[in-house]
Amino acid sequence: MRIRTGFGYDVHQLKEGLPFWLGGIQIPHTHGALGHSDADVLIHVICDALLGAANLRDIGFHFPDTDPQYKGIDSKRLLHEVVRLLQERGYQIGNIDSTVCLQLPKVNPHIPEMRRVLAEVMRVDEDDISIKATTTEKLGFVGRKEGVAAYATVLITKA
């Protein structure tokens, strides 16, 4: 069995009046993430980590922000395509460990639903997805509520 790991990191600016998508669900908040797609930072880091683990470059390579077909796209569709690319090459997802850095809104109450939605999109067990949330103790752009950051590591296997 072949085992590979991948890492993803992403940030998005927060803007008043935009919908806030995180982990495939819309979370009520006054500010949302700015981006070419729906700007779901958690899905983006999971995509990057999976693509990196399989040595398939990154999310921007596969879904460039210069391509109008991805304008406003639901990031769950991007994740579904990334999983398809991995499966084509014989890889299976072992597990995902992720962290979202955000002052507000509080993420913890939404984690069970995010895990459910992401597991459904990727066709894995919810137990294979870890989502953690933290603040930056009011430091930096996250602490000033100007943006959101996320990190993910993944393990994939190939028989």
Residues making up the binding site: 10-12, 36-37, 44, 58-60, 63-67, 134-137, 141, 144
- How far apart are the two ends of the chain, measured CA to CA in Å? 5
Spatial CB neighbours of 13, under 8 Å, sequence gap ≥ 6:
33, 34, 146, 147
d(CA 55, CA 34): 28
Distances (CA, A) of 82 to 9, 89, 128: 16, 11, 17
Residue 13 region, left (φ>0) first, then alpha (ψ -120 to 50), else beta?
Answer: beta
